[in-house]
Amino acid sequence: MSGAILATERATARVAGDVVGGAVPRLGILGGGQLAKMLVQAAAQLGCRTVCVEMERDCPAGLLTPVEVVPGWDAAEEVARVLEALEVVTLENEFIPERTLALLASRGHRVLPGPATMERIRDKFLQKSTLAAAGLPVPAFAAVENPEELVARGREWGWPLVLKARCHGYDGKGNATVHGPEDVRPAWQRLGGDRGRALYVEAFCPFERELAVIVTRGRDGRCAVYPVVETCQKDHICHHVVAPAQVPPARAARAAELARAAVESVGGIGSFGVELFLGPDGGVWINELAPRVHNSGHYTIEACECSQFENHVRAVLGWPLGSTRMRTPAAAMVNLLGRRHGSGRVRGLEQALAMPGVHVHIYGKTRCAPGRKMGHVTALGATPDEALARALAAAQVLDFGDVQP
């Protein structure tokens, strides 16, 4: 779509919205990956028009909505130009530079989550500091500027430790578990500390289970809290999610309350993913939060009365939030991770679709790589074990890529 055509479409949509009192709301989304795609689907259901901004047109969201291409997220003026007619702008990732978000806000866009919230969350050390200042339980943490400081923390807190990149780390790409002094320099180099990348360290938190909660907070401060789920992580990548988590009600209530408080502490608006640890003694600690719709909440599309994606759209547009109640006794979500390099072609789809109680989501990525999220499967069931077994069976027959590099 040419710039002139898109500009005309923007102007027409704005006038139409004004004429009918905003009956044609338009939403700008920074990012065009699978999260943006599912936001677009939810927005369309509510009659919204969307435009995504990405660095390439060939992205999952491009299957459903116009995509405006920019040279990079730091090209603030260009991002602002392509979104000039959109009042509300949201984002599918936390990597948009502060300057770009601030420029959009200064031009009159309602950016949600806002620049101040993103500033508190993007840097994970600042995120932990914000949570700790709010009196919320987090593992011990500290900034480290050299390997020697990391060794000193190991002597103080004991091994292992978790070394993390302060910014731009996700799906395990910015984490390293350090088991002893001999692991310090390799971990430091792998995460880029020797090249000037800012790192911090956390005490290892012994846990019995990893939990997650989606919290949607509206413009008016009201929150919709989804059921507490259990996540299974391998190599810092989520492999599956089971809802609801099979933990004592008091522990689930504690996790839900901490998740709500965490989102409130950063002034979040929209759907946020909050990851937590459940300790063997029943204690609950906050691991981290993501200022966006989250992988641990994909099950909500089929399993809840209002999905995390629909509630995010409702929240940023200032609409009432929907119910988070589950429509089924149990649900499970399994991520479809790439096993090889190759095309994004999916195999085994017909076999998976023939399985009862299974819902397949293929993101439409054109290239596959090991560990890359290519889709997910959600299954419903009478029990968590039944739902997980169905989802795993469907995921087992689905594969991506081919023999070409």
Tens of pLDDT, residues 316-343: 999 999 999 999 999 999 999 999 999 9
Residue 13 has pLDDT above 90, yes or no: no
pLDDT at 403: 53
Tens of pLDDT, residues 157-199: 999 999 999 988 765 678 899 999 999 999 999 999 999 999 9
Q: What dihedral do alpha carbons 190, 194, 197, 198 form, nearest 10°?
A: 100
Residue 22 has pLDDT above 80, yes or no: no
Q: Which two tokens stand for residue 191?
A: 């995460």
pLDDT at 168: 80
Q: How many residues does the chain have?
A: 405
- C-alpha distance across the termini of the chain, in Å: 31
DSSP 130: H
Q: What angle do CA 393, 293, 344 make, to 5 degrees?
A: 50
pLDDT at 17: 37
Residue 225 has pLDDT above 50, yes or no: yes
Structural element, H or E, at residue 240: strand 237-243
Residue 19 has pLDDT above 70, yes or no: no
Contact 297, 333 (CB under 8 A): no
Tens of pLDDT, residues 359-389: 999 999 999 999 999 999 999 999 999 999 9
Residue 1 has pLDDT above 90, yes or no: no
Instruction: Look over the chain and give the mean of its residue pLDDT values, rounded to a whole number.
Output: 92
172 phi/psi in degrees, rounded to 5: 80, 0
Distance CA 128, CA 166 (A): 10
Residue 10 has pLDDT above 70, yes or no: no
Tens of pLDDT, residues 62-111: 999 999 999 999 999 999 999 998 999 999 998 899 999 999 999 999 99
pLDDT at 11: 37
Task: Looking at the structure, give the CATH architecture of the domain made up of residues 3-111.
Answer: 3-Layer(aba) Sandwich (3.40)
Evaluated on CA atoms 110, 113, 119, 122, the torsion sign reads: negative
Domain 140-203: give its CATH code: 3.30.1490.20
pLDDT at 329: 98
Tens of pLDDT, residues 30-55: 999 999 999 999 999 999 999 999 99
CATH 3.30.470.20-classified regions of the chain: 209-400
Residue 20 has pLDDT above 70, yes or no: no
Distance CA 304, CA 391 (A): 17
pLDDT at 73: 95
pLDDT at 173: 72
Choose which CATH entry (3.90.1580.10, 3.30.470.10, 3.30.470.20, 2.60.34.10) describes domain 209-400.
3.30.470.20
CATH 3.30.1490.20-classified regions of the chain: 140-203
pLDDT at 231: 97
Contacts 24+ apart (CB under 8 A), 190-199: 191/163, 191/164, 191/165, 192/165, 193/144, 193/146, 193/147, 193/163, 197/165, 198/123, 198/125, 198/143, 198/165, 198/166, 198/167, 199/143, 199/144, 199/163, 199/164, 199/165, 199/166
CATH 3.40.50.20-classified regions of the chain: 3-111
pLDDT at 23: 54
Residue 16 has pLDDT above 50, yes or no: no
Entry pTM? 0.91
Q: pLDDT band at 244, cuts 50/70/90? A: very high
